Amino acid sequence: MRRFIGRTAVISGAARGMGKAVALRLADEGATVIAVDVNGAGAAATAKEIGGQTLAVQCDIGDPDSVAKLFAAVAGSAEKLDILINVAAIVPFVKWDELTFDEWRRVMRVNLDGLYLMCRAGSEMMRAGGYGRIVNFSSNSIFAGTPNMAHYVASKGGVLTFTRALATELGPYKITANSICPGLIDTEGVQQTPHKDAFDFVEMLQAIKGHGVPQDVVPAVAFLASEEAHWITGQALNVDAGMVRW
């Protein structure tokens, strides 16, 4: 399918993992991709792999000035924005007894403040164009209450509820806002944390057996980012092989 010909998509967290997989898929279906990541070299590598008119932008999404520069670059390059996929997040592993307020704020700054900043700026461009698809990454951990991640679980619960409110605010402008809730996915980031040892336990809880990889999540994102999903907004979709059934 070539569902995104003529569409411009900003994808955060595009240097690796699920963000990169989404960027590759949307580009393959015709989108002009702006690959965004705090890891500028990683974003550039993704853009190079895609080729064409792909733009790489280094951006700290928790910093208002950095986000403003990002969207100035988008406006200067593409002049419009059709799709915003917010993947970038901090995925910590901190025991409750060791969770400090500084660590709490570190995660909230990116996972919630950054989401607000990206949606604030992105939705303004979409309103000007009269079209938009926003897909925010939450997590199925908000239903499972995953241990050693209290601040992450709180932030991702905020993603889900913020997205519902955002859908209400943006519906009159024909802009949809939905969230997806992936389960444990085998990414470079996960492999650098103790979460890498949880795959077998998680698999026992899944209806469909196996270890999740980024390509398992991409189809749901692509659908919600497409014109086909025009009548779907304010929803949360679990993509976790049936670990959480609700």
Active site residues: 152
Q: What is the 3-state secondary structure (H, E, C) of the chain?
A: CCCCCCCEEEEECCCCHHHHHHHHHHHHCCCEEEEEECCHHHHHHHHHHHCCCCEEEECCCCCHHHHHHHHHHHHHHCCCCCEEEECCCCCCCCCHHHCCHHHHHHHHHHHHHHHHHHHHHHHHHHHHHCCEEEEEECCCHHHHCCCCCHHHHHHHHHHHHHHHHHHHHHHHHCEEEEEEEECCECCHHHHCCHHHHCHHHHHHHCCCCCCECHHHHHHHHHHHCCHHHCCCCCCEEEECCCCCCC
